[in-house]
Amino acid sequence: MENGSATWLRSFVPRPDAERRIVCLAHGGGGATGFRPWAQALPGTEVIAVQYPGREDRVADAFPPDLAAMAALIADELAPLLDRPYALFGHSMGATVAHEVAHALRDRGRPEPLRLFASGREAPHDEEGGKVHLMDDDGLAEELRRLGGTDAEVLRVPELRAMILAYVREDYRLIETYRAPYRPPLTCPVSVFLGAADPDLDPARASRWAESTTGPTDLRVFPGDHFYLVPHRAETLDAVAAALG
């Protein structure tokens, strides 16, 4: 869990005496530092953020061939940290990756998470793929503007635009080529979060995460769009803390 570029996990505020850990996985185009403000906000919980390749301190690192391979690599690095209970929180693409990580850990004989938080994403069995990763740079940049998660000013700087679009394209490739394999569902509780004005997800579709587990599920709709958890961070963290109990 060092800050070396070869590793997947970041702990901005180590809490060796914490009762539990929560492992946070960002949206496509996002990085681990997006969860830095969470580091001291959850009582009794150490926050671990996953750093995808191609960005921040992993700018030179290669991408895995597919999403399942990425989840397996994350699970391998996460396994030694399961000396205490853990939860998984994934937003957008990160929700799908978190679901795959839970399965990868279970396949290794490790415990399932205390709870899986699936934010801003349809259930894995509803993934329909897409062709955004095949668009030219202008089309890819327009998709980022549509979702609202990237500063438009940053995309006007040629060097930054090229770097950002390179790893965003790879993220979209991973999620758009992913198809969930058939396997027994998880047994852990699943909390589903979404923004009321998310352009790509509504409560009816989000509620289909219930089919991903035999455990209980609950649905929470927050004010805001796809990236509701940025302006409504405090409300999101309160909901996470309450669910962790």
Domains of the chain by residue range? 9-127+182-244
Amino acid 162: pLDDT: 81
Using the predicted structure, report yes or no on whether residue 89 has a pLDDT greater than 60: yes
Of residues 128 and 38, more confidently modeled: 38
Is there a catalytic annotation at residue 11? no
Amino acid 132: pLDDT: 74
**CB-based burial, 91-107: b 16+ in 10 Å, e otherwise:** bbbbbbbbbbbbbbbbe
Question: pLDDT-based confidence at 42, cuts 50/70/90?
Answer: very high
Query: Looking at 11, 92, 119, 191, which residue is catalytic?
Result: 92
- For domain 9-127+182-244, the CATH superfamily is Alpha/Beta hydrolase fold, catalytic domain (3.40.50.1820)
Amino acid 3: pLDDT: 38
Task: Give the model confidence (pLDDT) of 179-229 as tens digits.
Answer: 999 999 999 999 999 999 999 899 999 999 999 999 999 999 999 999 999
pTM reported for the whole predicted model: 0.92
Task: Give the model confidence (pLDDT) of 119-137 as tens digits.
Answer: 999 999 998 877 877 677 7
- CB within 8 Å of 22: residues ≥ 6 apart: 42, 45, 46, 47, 48, 86, 87, 88, 89, 240, 244
- CA distance linking residue 29 with residue 10, whole number of Å: 17
